[in-house]
Amino acid sequence: MSGIWGVIGGTGLSALDGLEVEGEEFIQTPWGAPSAPVVRGRIGGQRVCFLARHGHPHRIPPHRVNYRANLWALREAGVDRIVAVNAVGGMHPALGTGAFCVPDQIIDYTWGRASTYFEDDLEAVTHIDFTSPYDEPLRQQLLEVLHTQGHRCLPGGVYAATQGPRLETAAEIRRLERDGADLVGMTGMPEAALARELGLAYACLALVVNPAAGKAAEVITMEAIEAVVAAGMEQVKLVLQQLLKDSPRL
């Protein structure tokens, strides 16, 4: 392992506080341009590469993110493990607004996204094992930090990845619940699968920014979501800082 961490920032996390920036590089890939430059730096002595999933400023909707270019660029930068930050809607009773989840499973409801590196000019058809979509040791590291910092957290769960950019209907959320999902977001796939195809350890740190459709009497507004994001991402930054500082140097 190279010992270089990757952090993919989602909604509300277009920069990483505490990062001693050493430079940035816009890495061209065979799959096109990534969402933003890869920002290189250190936190607590750890080498870190940060990439803003939706661009900086936040301007790329979930279904337009070039996930293949983003993951490829991070690997080219020397990253071998990634913490992906996702703002999500909560369905599970434990996932109220402001709670965290480190999911252990995912269901893909997206469509039309470029979702694999293995499709053209292949010497052989390739199928990755995706039984457990997230890296378990990395999940456990995240959970330990969340526990230490006293956050409300669901230690596992099923992430439903929907197409977006619209929010879901109440009927769609009921369907996702019947399928076994606990939280819903728009960027979990194909990102997790692409990381697996590249051999990168990958885990999701999900912050609940709103009750899923039909889970609260109030209408979901972007103003309410943005207020939770602003406060919650400050907590996300503290989690990431401790995760990196506490991890052994490689």
Binding residue ranges for substrate: 186, 210-212
Binding residue ranges: 11, 53-54, 186-187, 210-212
Residue 19 φ then ψ, to 5°: -80, 120
CB 189 within 8 A of CB 68: no
- CA atoms of 23 and 198, how far apart (whole Å): 24
- CA atoms of 210 and 208, how far apart (whole Å): 6
> If DSSP states are collapsed to H, E and C, what string results for 223-241?
HHHHHHHHHHHHHHHHHHH
Pairing of strands 105-108, 158-161: parallel
Binding residue ranges for phosphate: 11, 53-54, 187
Residue 104's identity, in one-letter code, is D
